Structure 1
Amino acid sequence: MASTLSMISTDLIVSCSVPSRFTVFRSVSVVVMAELVFIPMSRMGHFAPMVELARLLVDLHSELSITVLILKLNPDAQVAAYIHSLTATRIKFIHLPQPETQKDISFSNHISNLQAHAPLVKDATNNILHHSSSRFIGFVFDLFLTPFIDVGNQLGVPSYVFYASSAAFLGFQSQALDLQDEQNVNIVELKDSDTEFTIPSYINPVSSKLFPTILLNPESNSMATTLVRWLRKAKGIMINTFWELESHAISSLSNGSVPPVYPVGPILDLERKSEVHQNSDIMKWLDEQPPSSVVFLCFGTGGNFNEDQVKEIASALEQSGHRFLWSLRQPPDPFKGPMASQTDYDDASEILPEGFLDRTHGIGKIIGWAPQVAILGHPAIGGFVSHCGWNSILESIWFGVPIATWPLYAEQQLNAFKLVTELGIAVEIKMDYRIEVIGNGEVEILRAETIEKGIRCMMDKGRDARKRVKEMSEKIRRALMDGGSSHSTIRDFINDVMGSMPKKN
C-alpha cells in the first residue's frame, strides 16, 4: 500500500493524484520561481529556528517558497503544535513516513537511521519537482542531518547547513576533527584531564574540561565526527549568530576549514513564544515584583536534577534572600533513552526541603514548564540561572538579562566559557559541570554555597556583566534591522542561492 505524505500549507491546498508512494498536495494559489527544501531535526531547539529562518527568507524574497520535510526521527511532541501555530505564507510542511528499517533512537544508530530515511527524502523531493512550477534551487539541512548532502549531490543541487549553535563551537568542532585526524589526539581519553588547546575560534586557550560530552564518549564521538566530515561538503553554512557577538570566531572560519559561513542570527521565535495569557499565575506574580529583582532558574528541555541536587538549589535560593522563579521539572523515564522528554511534578513539595515553600512564600515561586521568552522579557527579571543552551543565550541577550552559567551537556560548557571569559556578559556558577547523557555515570552534586555565590555575584556584584549584556542587547536588535549585519548577510545568502538557480528542464 502506498504511504501517505501529509502536508500543512498556509495557501489554498488541493489534492492531486500522482504515480508515487506518496499522496502529494500542491498549493495552487501562488506561482513561484524558486523552491528551497528545508530538513530540520524534529526537536524544538533545532526545528523552530530553522522554520523562523524560512519565514525570514520568504519575507525577503517574493519569488521564493520553502517546503519543510519532517522526519520521524527523535520526534518532539511540541513540534506538531508549533507547526499548527504558524501563519507564514509560501511555507509548506510534509510529514515523511517512518521507514521500516529505522532502528531504536540512539547515538550509535543515528547514521544508519539517516540512511534509511534518505530514499524517502529523495522521493519526496522528486515529487515536489514533478508537480511544481518552481525551480528547485537547493537543500538546507540541520547539522545532525548532513549525511543527506548525498541526496543533494544525486539531484544536482547545492546543499547548505543551518548551524543552530555558535560560530565559536563550529570552529571547535572543525578543529576537534583535525586534532583526531591529523594529530592523532584521542579526545575520548581527555575526559578526566585538564589539557589546554589552542582553538582558533576562541580568543583564549580552551581546557579539555570544557569539551562537550558528545566527544568524550566513544559511541557519540564517532557520530559527531562523521557529521562534521559531511558538513565540510556543504556549499555554505548559515549560523544562528551575529557579527557583533562573534566577530573573532566568524573571522577565524575564513581559513578554509569549513565552507563559507553566513551569520544570520539571532533566529528567535519571540512572537509565538511570548504569547502567554497575561492573567496567568506566572505573569501575575511577576507583575507584583520590583524591577530587576527576580532570579529566574530554567535549564532547558533536557535540564533536570535528582532530589539531592534539588535540595541544594533550594537551600541556595533561600540563603541568598533573593526573589526567585524556578522552573523545576521531573527527570524523564530512564528507559525511554537519552532523547526522552521531561515532565512536570504533580507535587514538587515532595522533593524540596521540608518547609521550604512556607518559608519562601511570597518571595519565590516554583513552576513546571516555563514560557521562557515571556519571562525573560518581563521587567521584574534581574538574572537568569541557565544551562547555557545557545537559544537561551540569544534570548537572554535579546532582553538584556545577565546569566549565571550552569552548563549540563552538549556544547554548553564551551558556551559558558565564551560568555564568562571572552564576552564578560555572564558570571560563573560552575563552568565545567556536566551530566552524563549516555550511560549511568555518577552525577556531581553542586553544593548550595557554590550556587548561592553565583547568584549573589550575578544579582549583587555583576554590574559589569549587566552593563555589557545591555550593550549587546542593543547590538543584537540592530543586527536584524534593515542594513544590520545579519539582515545584510541573509540578503547575501538569498542572492547567492538565487544566482546559482538551475534552469527548469
Structure 2
Amino acid sequence: MKALYVLSWLGQGKAPRIQAAELVFIPAIGIGHLASSFEIAKLLVARDDRLFITVLTMKLPLEYNLKLKGADDAERIRFINLPEEAVETKGIKTSLFLKLFVENHKQHVRDAVAKLTSEALQSDCKPRLVGFVIDMFCTTMIDVANEFGVPTYVFFTSGAGFLGLVLHLQTLHDEQNKDCTELKESDPDLVLPCLVNPMPARVLPGMYLDKDSATEFINHARRFRETKGILVNTFMELESHGLGALTDCKTPPLYPVGPILNLKSDPEGSELAKKKEILEWLDDQPPLSVVFLCFGSMGCFGGDQVKEIAAALEHCGLRFLWSLRQPPPKGELPFASDYADPSGVLPQGFLDRTAGTGKVIGWAPQVAVLGHPSVGGFVSHCGWNSTLESLWYGVPVAAWPMYAEQHLNAFELVRELVLAVEIKMDYRREGEVVVRAEEIERGIREVMEVESEQRKKVQGMSEKSRRALMDGGSSHSSLGRLIDQIFL
C-alpha cells in the first residue's frame, strides 16, 4: 500500500501533502444493493489511492446470505456489520418495514462513524472522513452525516428515468399539491421531462398507487435535493435524454457511473452444484436457441399464471430455461423461494413432455446464464440490475414487470429505446389478472427472432455499455469528476 500523508505545510517552500480520505457507504438491505455498492466502491479505490471506504452493512432479520466474493480481500475497503435490529415483518408493508428498519440503525451508524473519526484524530496516518455515500432508500442517514459535518452523496441504484420520475412527482406534490396516487385515474398519459414519449398512467410504478409508499418516495426525493451529488447506475449512451432533463438548478450534480454490475460472484455449497448443472445443460444447446425466464428475488406467480406460462412454452416448442420460484407465505416479506417439487404447480406431465427441450430450475445464476452463448432471449421482470446485465451481454428482453419501478423500466426499454419487446407492461403482481398463454408465447417468439430490430439495438448497446467504463468513456469520466469533487 502506498504511503499516505496529512494535508499540511511542512515548512517554507514545500508542497502540501494530501491526507487519505474516507467515505462511509451505507447500502440498503438485500444482496443486490450491497453488491452494487461494493462494485462502485472498488471502482473508486482503484481510481485514487488516497481513498478508503468503510461499508456499514445492515443485516436483514431473515436467513439471507450477504457474502460477497472478494470482500475480505478488497484493498482499502472494509465491511462493518452493524448490530442486528429486529423489526416485525408479519403483515407490514414493505415500504414501512424498510423505513423502520433503516431508522432503527441510525444510532449504530453514529457509533460506528464516531469510532472512525476518533481513530483518525489519534493518528496522522488514518484517513479523514470526507463524506457518506448512501443508498437511495437510506436518506434518513443524511442526518447522521450532517452531525459529523460531512456531505452526503446518494447512490441511486436504478436508472435516470426512474430518478426523473421520482423527482418530478415530488415537485408536483410540493409545488402543485398533486396526489400521486390519483394520477393513474386522472390522466391516460403522463408527460414526464425524463421521457421523450408520454407514459401511460397504467404503467405508473406500483409504489405511487399506495399512499404510504408514495409518501415515502416523496420524502426520499425531497432529501435527494439536500445532497452534494447523485451517483446513478446508468450511462450516458443509454439514457441521454433522462440525464439531460435532470441537469437543472434544482437537482444536485449527477454522476452517471454505470453499468455497475457484479459479474464475478460465485455461489457456494448447493448453489455451486446447481450452477454447474445448469451451465452443463446450456453447453448442450445450440447458440441463441434458449429463452431464459427469470423474475428476480421477489418474482413468483400463483398457480393459474404458472400454468399459462407452461402452456406457452410447450406450445411454442422453443428451448427454455425457467427459474420457477415459490411465493412466500401470506403476510411475510415478498421474497420467493425454491419449490421442493415444482411438478405440483405445473400442468400434469409438463416436465416429461418438455424434457427434450426445456429445463425447470429454482434459483438461477443469472449472470452466468445471460453470458452463455446458447441464450437468445430473456423473459424478465425488468429490475434495473437485470436490465443492465441483459444489455451487457447483448440479450434482448421480453418485458414482464411485476412491482417497484419495473413498469417504468419496461416502458423505457420497449417504447423509448426499442431494446425490448412487451409481454404485459401493466401487470401487477398483487392483481388478479392472469396473462394468457397466447400473449406470453407471442412475446417469447418476438424476443427470440434472430434478425429483430431489438436484437441489433441491444448488441450495439452492449458495446456502448462496455466502452462507457473504459478509460475515456462516459462513465469513467463521470467517476473522475466525482473524485475531484470529493477532494475539493
TM exceeding 0.5: yes
CA–CA distance in structure 2, aligned partners of residues 193 and 376 of structure 1: 40
| Equivalent residue letter for 2:483 | I
Verify the 8 A CA contact 1:387 1:405 in the aligned structure 2: yes
For residues 373 and 264 of structure 1, do their structure 2 counterparts lie closer, same or farther at Cα, with a shift above 3 Å needed? Answer: same
2:44 to 34, 57, 64: 57
Shift in Å, 1:489: 0.8
CA–CA distance in structure 1, aligned partners of residues 227 and 330 of structure 2: 36
The aligned residue for residue 128 of structure 2 is 135
Shift in Å, 1:321: 1.2
Query: Which secondary structure does the structure 2 equivalent of 1:108 belong to?
Result: helix
- CA offsets, 1:380-439, max 9 Å, x none? 000000000000000000000000000000010110000011111110111111123xxx
- CA offsets, 1:55-102, max 9 Å, x none? 1111111111100111245667121x22675531111111111358x5
1:374 to 357, 368, 371: 368
CA–CA distance in structure 2, aligned partners of residues 207 and 278 of structure 1: 40
| Equivalent residue letter for 1:336 | E
1:38-49 to 2 correspondences below 5 Å:
38-49=25-36
1:385-396 to 2 correspondences below 5 Å:
385-396=379-390
- CA offsets, 1:412-471, max 9 Å, x none? 0110000011111110111111123xxxxx421110010001111111376100000000
Q: Does 1:288 align with 2:284?
A: yes
Verify the 8 A CA contact 2:157 2:233 in the aligned structure 1: yes
Q: Please identify, of 322-331 and 113-122, the stretch whose mean Cα deviation from structure 2 is larger.
A: 113-122
Shift in Å, 1:221: 1.3
Q: Does 1:331 align with 2:327?
A: yes
The aligned residue for residue 77 of structure 1 is 64
Query: Which secondary structure does the structure 2 equivalent of 1:139 belong to?
Result: strand
1:470 to 454, 459, 469: 459
1:81-160 to 2 correspondences below 5 Å:
81-82=67-68, 86-99=72-85, 104=89, 106=93, 107-132=95-120, 133-160=126-153
| Equivalent residue letter for 1:39 | I
Verify the 8 A CA contact 1:42 1:74 in the aligned structure 2: no
Verify the 8 A CA contact 2:301 2:429 in the aligned structure 1: no
Verify the 8 A CA contact 2:30 2:60 in the aligned structure 1: no
Verify the 8 A CA contact 1:43 1:75 in the aligned structure 2: no
The aligned residue for residue 253 of structure 1 is 246
For residues 392 and 86 of structure 1, do their structure 2 counterparts lie closer, same or farther at Cα, with a shift above 3 Å needed? Answer: farther
Q: Does 1:269 align with 2:258?
A: no
CA–CA distance in structure 2, aligned partners of residues 197 and 150 of structure 1: 34
Query: Which secondary structure does the structure 1 equivalent of 2:359 belong to?
Result: strand
CA–CA distance in structure 1, aligned partners of residues 328 and 44 of structure 2: 36
1:309 to 275, 283, 305: 305
List alignment gaps of at least 5 residues for structure 1.
1-9, 11-30, 437-441, 500-505
For residues 70 and 212 of structure 1, do their structure 2 counterparts lie closer, same or farther at Cα, with a shift above 3 Å needed? Answer: same
For residues 345 and 36 of structure 1, do their structure 2 counterparts lie closer, same or farther at Cα, with a shift above 3 Å needed? Answer: same
CA–CA distance in structure 2, aligned partners of residues 148 and 85 of structure 1: 23
Query: Which secondary structure does the structure 2 equivalent of 1:335 belong to?
Result: coil
TM-score (norm 1): 0.87
Q: Please identify, of 288-297 and 121-130, the stretch whose mean Cα deviation from structure 2 is larger.
A: 121-130
| Equivalent residue letter for 1:472 | M
Q: Does 1:486 align with 2:472?
A: no
| Equivalent residue letter for 2:367 | V
CA–CA distance in structure 2, aligned partners of residues 351 and 118 of structure 1: 43
Shift in Å, 1:191: 4.2
Q: Equivalent pairs: percent with the same residue?
A: 51
Q: Please identify, of 297-306 and 275-284, the stretch whose mean Cα deviation from structure 2 is larger.
A: 275-284
Shift in Å, 1:258: 2.1
> How many residue pairs get matched?
461
The aligned residue for residue 427 of structure 1 is 421
The aligned residue for residue 17 of structure 1 is none
For residues 32 and 83 of structure 1, do their structure 2 counterparts lie closer, same or farther at Cα, with a shift above 3 Å needed? Answer: farther
| Equivalent residue letter for 2:218 | T
Q: Please identify, of 182-191 and 480-489, the stretch whose mean Cα deviation from structure 2 is larger.
A: 182-191
TM-score (norm 2): 0.90
CA–CA distance in structure 1, aligned partners of residues 208 and 107 of structure 2: 29
Query: Which secondary structure does the structure 2 equivalent of 1:93 belong to?
Result: strand
CA–CA distance in structure 2, aligned partners of residues 483 and 240 of structure 1: 18
Shift in Å, 1:119: 2.1
| Equivalent residue letter for 1:408 | M
